[in-house]
Amino acid sequence: MPLGERIKALRAETGWSQAELAERVGDDGRQISRYENGRITPSLDALARIAEAFNTSLDYLVFDNQLRRPLDANRRLARALPSLPTYSPPTPTSGPSQDLALVFEAASQLEGRALAKALVDGIVLRQQSRRFASAS
């Protein structure tokens, strides 16, 4: 399901108007309409606020075929998979690792820092669980 349709479905499920969702995420109703109609794509910050308003994970909003989970599901999943090796990022020097370090630094400055961390945690856990499942 495209992102805009998913936002619209979640909004309908909660019974909110576009204006009500906009107020909850600090936007305006016209912007929500543009998201829902696929005319524009929300920024990561806007996606994080939308996910928080609906208490759902960002991966559910963004990726197809994802199960709907509340925002704290990533922490519970991490506790449920203690046997997976932990990831220790290399020390950035230059190139792609440095670019990634800059992205993480920018994410740490966001207002929705916890949501940005939850998104990254979710992506890392999904990759680790796929590796774990393929190794079995």
pLDDT digits (tens, 9 = 90+) for 45-78: 899 899 989 888 888 888 877 777 777 655 555 5
C-alpha distances out from residue 132 to 115, 116, 120, 126, Å: 25, 24, 18, 10
Q: Return the minimum-mean-pLDDT range out of 17-31, 77-91, 104-118.
A: 77-91
Q: Can you give the residue ranges of every domain in the chain?
A: 3-135
pLDDT tops 80 at residue 38: yes
Q: Which of 29-33, 99-103, 106-110 has the highest mean pLDDT?
A: 29-33
Instruction: Work out the average pLDDT over 67-90.
Output: 59
What pLDDT, on a 0 to 100 scale, did the predictor assign at position 79? Answer: 60
Q: Return the minimum-mean-pLDDT range out of 54-63, 98-107, 114-123.
A: 98-107
What pLDDT, on a 0 to 100 scale, did the predictor assign at position 128? Answer: 76
What pLDDT, on a 0 to 100 scale, did the predictor assign at position 50? Answer: 92
Pick the CATH number of 3-135 from 2.40.170.20, 1.25.40.10, 1.10.260.40, 3.20.20.80: 1.10.260.40
Cα dihedral value 103, 107, 108, 111, nearest 10: 160
What pLDDT, on a 0 to 100 scale, did the predictor assign at position 26? Answer: 92
Beta-carbon contacts of 113 under 8 Å, excluding residues fewer than 6 positions away, are: 107
